[in-house]
Chains A and B, each alone.
Chain A
Amino acid sequence: MKFEDRLQNALKTEVSTIDEGKFIGRMHAAQHQLDLKRTRFQSSMITAAFLLIFGWASYSQLNDSIFNTQFVEYYSYEDNYEYFSEIDSSDYDMYIADMALYLLDDDDVWAILEFFEEEEYEYAFNEKEIKL
């Protein structure tokens, strides 16, 4: 037998008829499912994009306002004694006064003045009086 005829024989299949009504019903159901999947995919992509943008914006804001600035303020290793806010300046005055009284117990006025000078305590000096 010719090769092509053998192929044709091998492919001969008894085909039963297909129910058109049921097929169309199933086709529309499958189509509906596909549309639903597509809609879900689109909405999840939009949500993911929104979360990504929102997350990035929040992170960059936090990064600028809290971490960087606060870190410099609280964890600076520089000795910045010139920085005193209005709130804690009274504490500093108290500290200077306590130290001055402590040194006064030893009756050494010069030690007190030296301390004031080291601390650059502006209110303690009256330049005119010292010159006189």
Chain B
Amino acid sequence: MKSDHELIRLFQKGDQSAFDELVKRHLDSVYRFFVRITIDEMEAEDLSQSVFIKLFKSLKNFRFKAEFTTYLYRAKINTANSYLTRNKWRNFLHLDQVPEQSFSHEEPRISKSDIWAHVAKLPGKQRNVVMMRLNQQLPFKEIGLMLDMSEGTAKVNYHHGINKLRGWLKDIYEI
């Protein structure tokens, strides 16, 4: 089985099927990443498509200095960031909706759109770290590697981001 770098080399030489092979290999992880952020699966598919279309153009200049997965993660995060920013207005439409009153002793379930609407409000680095941690449950070391920061910085950013989220969501849910 060929490695990602070998497939990219073939693609750079003009072999389009090598790119298709690369898509097949990583489609599932990209699609799952976006399903957790978006409202429906169609949107997740559209976002996955835009990531691979961007890669199709940019991989022609790929310099093999980093792993392809790191490159892919950055593309995913950039696309997710622009999606969350673009959809801020839509997410905020749901913010005034009070969650259904639960008469059981269970804590009310926090809605997905509320979480991402507030994640979108976080400052850049905090938003990226929180997004990767919540979405993929990646260890801080790996998050740091992907986002070009140390493990400690990733932890600090996550801590600050989660505290802000808690503060914002406290007003809507009983936390």
Point out residues on A near B: beta carbons under 8 Å: 1, 3-4, 6-11, 13, 15-18, 20, 23-24, 26-27, 30-31, 34
Contacts and interface: CB of A to CB of B under 8 A. Distances in A.
B35 A3 contact: no
A3 B49 contact: no
Contact of B112 (A10, A20, A27, A34): A10
Lowest 5 CB-CB distances: which A-B pairs, in order? Answer: A10-B110, A20-B24, A15-B35, A18-B31, A27-B49
B109 interface: yes
Contact of A18 (B45, B52, B166): B45
B66 interface: no
30 contacts: A1-B107, A3-B162, A3-B166, A7-B115, A8-B134, A10-B111, A10-B115, A11-B115, A13-B35, A13-B36, A15-B31, A15-B32, A15-B35, A15-B41, A16-B41, A18-B28, A18-B31, A18-B45, A20-B23, A20-B27, A23-B23, A23-B45, A23-B48, A23-B49, A24-B24, A27-B23, A27-B53, A30-B53, A31-B53, A34-B53
Interface string B83-105: 00000000000000000000000
A42 B32 CA distance: 36
Given A11-B134, A13-B36, 14 more contacts: A4-B162, A8-B134, A10-B110, A10-B111, A11-B135, A15-B31, A18-B28, A18-B48, A20-B27, A23-B23, A23-B27, A24-B20, A24-B24, A27-B53
B3 interface: no
B46 to A, nearest CB: 9
Contacts of B27: 18, 20, 23
B16 to A, nearest CB: 9
Nearest to A16: B41
Interface in B60-75: none
Contacts of B53: 27, 30-31, 34
What bracket does the count of chain B residues touching chain A fall in?
A: 20 to 34
B175 interface: yes
Contact of A9 (B41, B109, B166, B175): B109
Given A11-B115, A34-B53, A6 B110 contact: yes
Nearest to B170: A3
A115 B45 CA distance: 99
A19 to B, nearest CB: 10
B129 to A, nearest CB: 13
B117 to A, nearest CB: 13
A108 to B, nearest CB: 98
Nearest to B108: A6
Nearest to A9: B109
Nearest to B34: A15
A18 B26 CA distance: 12
Contacts of B112: 10-11, 13
B56 A31 contact: yes
